[in-house]
């Protein structure tokens, strides 16, 4: 995005990535209209923004008609979908509706007003991938009716709908496929491996490793993810564009790094691998490098240290509790 002041709307604004995006937009001088139904978001993430003269917030479900004043929005970032397995597995209907119906509402708004709409899709569209690393031209390997399908297929349908509106009705769209993102404002108990390991380590509990721990993920620090989203919104590229860190780490290696950085003496316990859990996940980001001039800058060790500091404050702890 350029640095001229724009009217920007953000759905899912009280979520983990959404709240960091609002911070960055305001820092660039934009006016932000934020929306979140707070089903998984935390209004506390926006505490520092609620008195800002260029920021407004509405508690509202994106599946409803967007607020009337959103007709003034020149840019819309759609982050309104649960990204936590702990939530979308217990609320699959809400997950599908936010991925499809909520996005349709925003596409209709964009068609009427001419606003550019950026959709945060996900690496989950690749499913339990059979090609590594994953490039944007890979069609994926997804179970259409499995335990994760409400999220995987909801996001895949969302991409199809974005391209249909773009091709038939000339709606200005952007698609970002976000890989595992971590950092401050992750919430305890959200089912994401980084927050799970850190909280367990700080509280002296066993670290729960699923399967044999050899499955891999690639972890991108939240400030790098937000920078990519803002660059894509301002670029001519439609996408999809992978947004993630190409460094690939096993769950065992991540657990050992968390234990070292926290100083915890917690042990590892192994549990069965959940259904359809991907064995490997790693983005090819050549497209993002070429079209956006973007690549991650924050190392995993540095990012984890910042995230651990966040959780120490959140849990009200001055030292590690060991078992």
Residue tagged active-site, from 151, 165, 182, 221? 151
- Domains for the chain: give ranges and CATH numbers: 7-182+220-243 (3.40.50.720)
Strand 31-36 to strand 55-59: parallel, antiparallel, or no bridges (unpaired)?
parallel
HSE of 131, CA atoms in CB hemisphere, 13 A = 14
3 state DSSP class of 48: coil
Given this model, what pLDDT does residue 118 score?
98
3 state DSSP class of 137: coil
**Which residues in the chain land under pLDDT 50?**
2, 318-323
Given this model, what pLDDT does residue 322 score?
36
- Joined together, the tokens standing for residue 240 give 């999809």
3 state DSSP class of 321: coil
Listed in sequence order, the residues at least 6 apart from 132 whose beta carbon sits closer than 8 Å to its beta carbon are 280, 282
- Joined together, the tokens standing for residue 223 give 């400030």
8 Å CB contact between 283 and 245: yes
HSE of 257, CA atoms in CB hemisphere, 13 A = 17
Given this model, what pLDDT does residue 321 score?
40
3 state DSSP class of 175: strand
Strands (E), 29-172: 31-36, 55-59, 75-78, 116-122
What sign does the dihedral 210-215-221-225 (CA atoms) show? Answer: negative
Given this model, what pLDDT does residue 319 score?
46
C-alpha 221/C-alpha 37 separation (Å) is 25
C-alpha 7/C-alpha 233 separation (Å) is 13
Active site residue 151: yes
Strand 216-217 to strand 249-250: parallel, antiparallel, or no bridges (unpaired)?
antiparallel
Given this model, what pLDDT does residue 57 score?
97
Given this model, what pLDDT does residue 320 score?
40
Residues forming beta bridges with residue 141, ordered by sequence position: 127
């Amino acid at each position: 995005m350029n640095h001229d002041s724009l009217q920007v709307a953000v759905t899912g604004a009280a979520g983990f990535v959404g709240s960091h995006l609002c911070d960055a937009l305001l820092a660039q001088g934009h006016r932000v209209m934020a929306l979140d139904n707070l089903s998984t978001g935390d209004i506390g993430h926006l505490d520092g923004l609620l008195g800002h003269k260029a920021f407004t917030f509405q508690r509202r479900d994106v599946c409803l008609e967007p607020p009337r004043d959103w007709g003034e929005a020149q840019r819309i970032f759609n982050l309104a979908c649960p990204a936590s397995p702990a939530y979308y597995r217990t609320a699959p209907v809400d997950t599908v509706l936010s991925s499809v119906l909520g996005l349709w509402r925003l596409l209709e708004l964009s068609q009427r007003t001419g606003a550019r709409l950026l959709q945060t899709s996900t690496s989950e569209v690749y499913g339990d991938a059979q090609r590594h690393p994953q490039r944007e031209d890979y069609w994926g390997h997804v179970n259409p009716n499995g335990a994760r399908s409400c999220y995987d297929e909801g996001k895949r349908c969302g991409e199809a709908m974005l391209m249909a509106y773009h091709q038939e009705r000339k709606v200005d769209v952007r698609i970002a496929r976000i890989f595992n993102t971590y950092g401050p404002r992750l919430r305890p108990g959200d089912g994401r491996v980084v927050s799970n390991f850190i909280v367990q380590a700080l509280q002296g509990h066993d670290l729960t490793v699923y399967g044999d721990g050899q499955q891999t993920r690639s972890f991108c620090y939240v400030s790098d993810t937000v920078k990519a989203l803002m660059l894509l919104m301002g670029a001519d590229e439609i996408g999809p564009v992978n947004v993630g860190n190409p460094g690939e780490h096993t769950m065992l290696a991540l657990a050992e790094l968390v234990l070292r950085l926290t100083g915890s003496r917690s042990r590892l316990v192994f549990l069965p691998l959940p259904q359809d859990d991907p064995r490997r996940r790693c983005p090819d980001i050549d497209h993002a490098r070429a079209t956006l001039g973007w690549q991650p800058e924050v190392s995993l060790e540095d990012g984890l240290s910042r995230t651990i500091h966040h959780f120490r404050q959140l849990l009200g702890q001055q030292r590690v509790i060991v078992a």
